[in-house]
Each structure stands twice: as C-alpha cells, then as structure tokens.
C-alpha cells in the first residue's frame, strides 16, 4: 500500500533561483552578494588556469612573467586569495589574454562630504 501511495504523489521541482533564495538568501542581501562574489572569483581563477594551460605554461613560469611567486599563481587559480586588480591584469597580459570588466551602477545615492 505504501508504494502505491508514493507512486501517486508527484515530485515538486525547484529552480536553481528558488533553491538559492531559500538556502543562501534573496538577491541583494549581504549573504547572497557574498555568495555570488565568491562564485565570480572561482570563475576568474578557472579562467586564469585554463589560459595558462592553453599557453603551455607552468605556474612557476607564469609567476616569473608576472613578477610573483608560483604560490601566488596557485592561490589565484584556486581562488584562495583576494588578488589586487593590478595583479590580475598583469596575469592576463602575461597570458596575452584580453580582460573586460563590467561595472554596474546601482540606484544608490552617494553623498560627498
């Protein structure tokens, strides 16, 4: 009897947005913003790693081109550090890769002292 009852019930499906809103927080909340920023850093690190491998460079070789140690390149690729924009730009220049940054201005009032 129990199996027959289970067969009659439909499973509810949820979108990724619904799950993220429920467990991480609504868009615009500090917790959600932190989560999304972390995801972007992961994507950046993966882009650096992929470009380095396509150029057949080791982390040590890329570090020498940029002027940082191998460990810094490793941290960038694995999103273990908050890198300065200047360092990230140097890395992509060394990889002969184009970098685009998108800046979105939010509807916020800025008061100057």
Is residue 2 included in any domain, yes or no? no
Counted domains in the chain: 1
All residues at 6 or more sequence positions from 103 whose CB lies less than 8 Å from its CB, including other chains: none
- The encoded tokens of residue 44 equal 């950046």
Is residue 110 included in any domain, yes or no? no
Encode burial over 35-61: b for 16+ CB neighbours within 10 A, e otherwise. Answer: eeeeeebeebbebbbebbeeeebebee
> Average pLDDT of 31-36?
79
> Average pLDDT of 77-104?
79
pTM of this structure: 0.55
**CATH number (domain holding residue 88):** 1.10.260.40
Is residue 4 included in any domain, yes or no? no
Distance CA 20, CA 31 (A): 11
pLDDT of residue 10: 77
pLDDT of residue 87: 83
List, for residues 46-76, the tens digit of each pLDDT value.
888 999 899 999 999 999 999 999 999 998 8
Residue 95 and residue 88 in contact, taking contact as beta carbons nearer than 8 Å: no
* Residue 31 scores a pLDDT above 70: yes
- Host domain of residue 80: 16-94
């Amino acid at each position: 009897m129990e199996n027959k009852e289970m067969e009659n019930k439909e499973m509810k499906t949820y979108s990724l947005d619904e799950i993220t809103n429920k467990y991480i927080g609504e868009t615009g909340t500090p917790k959600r913003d932190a989560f999304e920023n972390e995801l972007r850093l992961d994507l950046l690190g993966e882009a650096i790693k992929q470009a380095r491998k396509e150029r057949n460079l080791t982390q040590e070789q890329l570090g020498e081109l940029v002027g940082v140690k191998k460990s810094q390149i490793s941290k960038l690729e694995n999103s273990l550090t908050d890198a300065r924009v200047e360092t990230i730009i140097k890395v992509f220049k060394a990889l002969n890769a184009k970098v685009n940054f998108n800046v979105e201005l939010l509807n916020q009032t800025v008061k100057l002292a």
